[in-house]
Every structure is written in C-alpha cells, then in structure tokens.
Amino acid sequence: MKRMIVTGALGQIGSELVVKLREIYGVDAVLATDIRNTTDSIEPFEVLDVMDDKCMHKLAKEFRADTMIHMAALLSATAEKNPLLAWNLNMGGLVNALEVARELNMQFFTPSSIGAFGPTTQKNNTPQNTLQRPTTMYGINKVAGELLCDYYHQKYNLDTRGVRFPGLISYVTPPGGGTTDYAVEIYYKAIEEGQYQSYIAQGTYMDMMYMPDALQAIIDLMEADGSKLVHRNAFNISAMSVEPSELAAEIQKHIPHFTLSYKVDPVRQAIADSWPNTIDSTAAREEWGFTTQYDLAKMTIDMLEKLKIKQQKKAIS
C-alpha cells in the first residue's frame, strides 16, 4: 500500500483508520471520502456517494490510488430498519468499489462481520469455514460480499482481502447503529451518568475487540504476503468474548458506584442471539500473524481514561 482511497471515512472504523494510515504512510497518501461532508479538517477529503461508480473511478484514478479500502455500509440494527436500502447500498457500493479496483488494478479491502453467521452456525469456537445462514439483511449482505470478493479474486486475480470483525469498541466515534454498540455505550454512560440500561440481555456473549487492535489487523493483513493467504476475504478475528455484566464488573473496579440494568430490545437481541458466542481466529494467526494487545481489563482502563479526558475537553469548550 502506497496510496489509498478510503470510503466511509467518517464512520466508526473509517474515521480512526484514516488517522492511523496517515501516521504510517503520510497524510497525502490517504484520500478520505464519505457521502457527507465534514467541518473537520481531514484533507485530502472528497465527498463520494459509493453508488456513483463514475465519481469513484474518477477520484481513485486522479489520486493515483493503488489500494481501495471500502468501509461504507449500513450496520446491522440500522439495516434491519430499512433492509432494501441496506441491500442497495451495501451490495451496490461494494460492486462499484470492486469494479473500480479491478479497472485500476488496485489492492482491495472490505470488512465482513460475525453477522455473516446465523442461528444454525456452531455457537462456540465458530470455525473459519462453517455453515453461514444469517437471518438479517446485514448478515446476508456480508455473506454475499465475502463470496463476491472471492469471485473477483478467482476470476480477475484481484488482490481482495478482508476480516470478519467482531463488535468494535472505541472512545473516538459515537456508536453508529450496530448490535454490539451497547459495549461502547456502557463506557460513555459509566462516565457521564454512573449507570447504564442495556438493550442486550444478561448472559448474551458476543465477540469484541478494541479499536486499536482492529486497525492494526487491517494494516497487518494488507501488508501480508499474499501467497500465504488461503482464506483472503473472511478471516475470523476476535480479542475477547464478553456479556454485559462482565463489562459492568470490570467498569466497577474503577467506578464502584456504577450500576447496570436491562431493558432488552427484541430486534437487537434477536440479532445478537443469531451470532456466535465465540469464534476461532486460528486461520488469521497462522496465515498472517494476527494478534491483539488489549484484553477486557486493559481495554477498560484505556477507555475510561480516554473518555474522562474527552469529557473534560468538552466541558471546557
């Protein structure tokens, strides 16, 4: 990777990924794009609707990008509210991005998700290769996307790569409509209010990862020797499997008065129940050296410290 175009650059992952990439490769080596404009100075930046393939091609060609990092998508809970929009955006945008990458001979990354699994998938230690019959539009999009990226690699020899992200936890960008967002909200509410009402039921385990580990995973995979990649577009990766009360217990070590209650959202709970409890990341570790730096305890310390600083800055301004 020398020159990168990032779609969905103002989203939960994209906003932090652009910063990380520019730290490594240089500010002028990363073109950030999103459908909405921003008042923040993150130049170089261009407004891009990923449904506009001609504009995407023009921007990538003029920027002389050798890598497409396609992050633009509707997340799981949001997608269930408008499934037709999710299909058109998630799949249409992906096809456009793949075509631009094919036409300009670019390396290509797009994320899949644990949402690609379904209720009939093995729940514990979910294998890399297994039955995938998701029951959400988001999950259907992700399975189709995995297969589509495999197709472009096999048919056109396009260097496509991707991971199945678990729930991602970050202090930088507010939650954006994902089922696992409770694991982000709980930290915000712990700092702001000392209490949190979870829309996910107690005992519901889902895989999670702290954002710094997720960003490093993208970079490590994209820099890996392609000849050693067997699975390419759907590597299972995870750092921890947790449920709400475990997050609360870790927070209480630092904020003893913090309390957790429950008001379960049937829609998001149904989505969570269809996903694995834990996934097996062996293939990612063996094929490109996937590793993580943060466990639950270390992540909680960092999240609370960073959110306190963020709150203090907000109060001053």
Identify any residues that bridge with 33 across adjacent strands, giving them in sequence order. 46
- Are 279 and 125 in contact by the 8 Å Cβ rule? The answer is yes
* Average pLDDT across the chain, whole number: 94
DSSP one-letter code for 29: G
Other Cβ atoms less than 10 A from the Cβ of 245: the count is 14
Band (43; pLDDT cuts 50, 70, 90) = confident
Percent of the chain residues past pLDDT 90, beyond the cut: 85
138 is catalytic: yes
Give the separation between CA 182 and CA 282, rounded to whole angstroms: 27
Question: Looking at the whole model, is its pTM more than 0.95?
Answer: no
Quick: pLDDT tens for 229-261: 999 889 999 999 999 999 999 999 999 999 999
Closest CA to 19 of 8, 30, 11: 30
Domain boundaries, the chain: 4-166+210-236, 168-207+239-275+293-316
Mean pLDDT of 38-42: 71
Helices then strands, counting H and E runs in the chain, come out as 11, 14
DSSP one-letter code for 28: G
- Domain 168-207+239-275+293-316 classification at class level: alpha beta
Identify any residues that bridge with 197 across adjacent strands, giving them in sequence order. 261
Domain 4-166+210-236: homologous superfamily in CATH: NAD(P)-binding Rossmann-like Domain (3.40.50.720)
Structure tokens at 37: 């404009």
In this prediction, residue 76 carries a pLDDT of: 79
Identify any residues that bridge with 10 across adjacent strands, giving them in sequence order. none
Q: How far apart are the first and last CA of the chain?
A: 38
Identify any residues that bridge with 46 across adjacent strands, giving them in sequence order. 33
In this prediction, residue 23 carries a pLDDT of: 97
Res. 38: pLDDT tops 70: yes
- Are 93 and 68 in contact by the 8 Å Cβ rule? The answer is no
Mean pLDDT of 99-123: 96
Other Cβ atoms less than 10 A from the Cβ of 81: the count is 12
State the amino acid at position 73 in one-letter form: A
Whole-angstrom Cα Rg for the chain: 19
Other Cβ atoms less than 10 A from the Cβ of 296: the count is 18
Res. 139: pLDDT tops 80: yes
In this prediction, residue 68 carries a pLDDT of: 98
Q: Which of 44-53, 64-73, 205-214, 307-316 has the lowest mean pLDDT?
A: 307-316
Give the separation between CA 153 and CA 161, rounded to whole angstroms: 9
Q: Degrees (nearest 5) of the Cα angle 263, 295, 266?
A: 20
Res. 315: pLDDT tops 80: no
In this prediction, residue 5 carries a pLDDT of: 98
Residue with tokens 């996937």: 290
Active-site position among 25, 138, 156, 196 = 138
